[in-house]
Homo-oligomer: A and B are copies of this chain.
């Protein structure tokens, strides 16, 4: 029983609160900290405090940043007429890895989920509307997850933006590259057939 070393137990509990960390791994991580040199552990603790302290939301796109305005919004090489709407800062990172998309982003910080008390007013939707009101944006690509809640959020935003006379698009749905059709789920296959294209 690890319980008898209180401060080790407490540290393991802290690791256990992180996304995707189970009890056993949390204890492993706590032990890793004990194996560190004192200065390393201090650096670790400082990194936590610094990240929380320095990182805030970009006032334009609502993505997380440690600058006044995030590097994407302040990059005038990018296409400022296109905005990709995502649910979460993590998705921005995924999109940027592709190095294909050259427009801007808007981070909603969640999806509409009335069951969990997340109504549209809890998301950064009014901030999106006020960006659009500025007049520079021609197209909004709604890139929420292809889940029930993600779809509902996309529909909500699409309906909100349509009257504003801008193009509203969404990502293509279909079978993922490199996958085996034998194991594709029915909904994905249906979407792939529905969205079929000419050679």
Tell me, yes or no, whether A5 is within 8 Å of chain B by CB: yes
Tell me, yes or no, whether A2 is within 8 Å of chain B by CB: yes
Which residues on B sit within 8 Å (CB–CB) of A25?
Answer: 20
Tell me, yes or no, whether A90 is within 8 Å of chain B by CB: yes
Interface of A is mostly: helix
Whether A55 contacts B34 in the complex (CB less than 8 A), given A48-B45, A66-B6, comes out as yes
Partner of A50, one of B10, B49, B96: B10
Tell me, yes or no, whether A17 is within 8 Å of chain B by CB: yes
Binds B, one of A35-43, A120-128, A157-165: A35-43
How many copies, total? 2
Which residues on B sit within 8 Å (CB–CB) of A64?
Answer: 5, 8, 34
Name the residue in A48, A55, A90 with the highest tally of chain B Cβ atoms < 10 Å from its Cβ: A48
Name 13 extra pairs, CB < 8 A, besides A11-B51, A33-B51. A1-B97, A4-B72, A5-B64, A5-B65, A6-B66, A11-B48, A14-B43, A30-B51, A33-B48, A34-B52, A34-B64, A41-B49, A41-B52
Tell me, yes or no, whether A103 is within 8 Å of chain B by CB: no
Tell me, yes or no, whether A191 is within 8 Å of chain B by CB: no
A100 to chain B, nearest CB (A): 13
Tell me, yes or no, whether A196 is within 8 Å of chain B by CB: no
Tell me, yes or no, whether A46 is within 8 Å of chain B by CB: yes
Name the residue in A25, A32, A34, A51 with the highest tally of chain B Cβ atoms < 10 Å from its Cβ: A51
22 pairs from A and B in contact (CB 8 Å cutoff): A1-B93, A2-B93, A4-B71, A4-B72, A7-B47, A7-B50, A7-B54, A7-B66, A8-B64, A8-B66, A11-B48, A11-B51, A17-B44, A18-B29, A19-B28, A19-B31, A19-B35, A20-B25, A31-B90, A33-B48, A33-B52, A42-B52
Bound complex: CA A72 to CA B44 (Å):
31
Structural contact, B29 and A19, CB atoms closer than 8 A: yes
A55 to chain B, nearest CB (A): 6
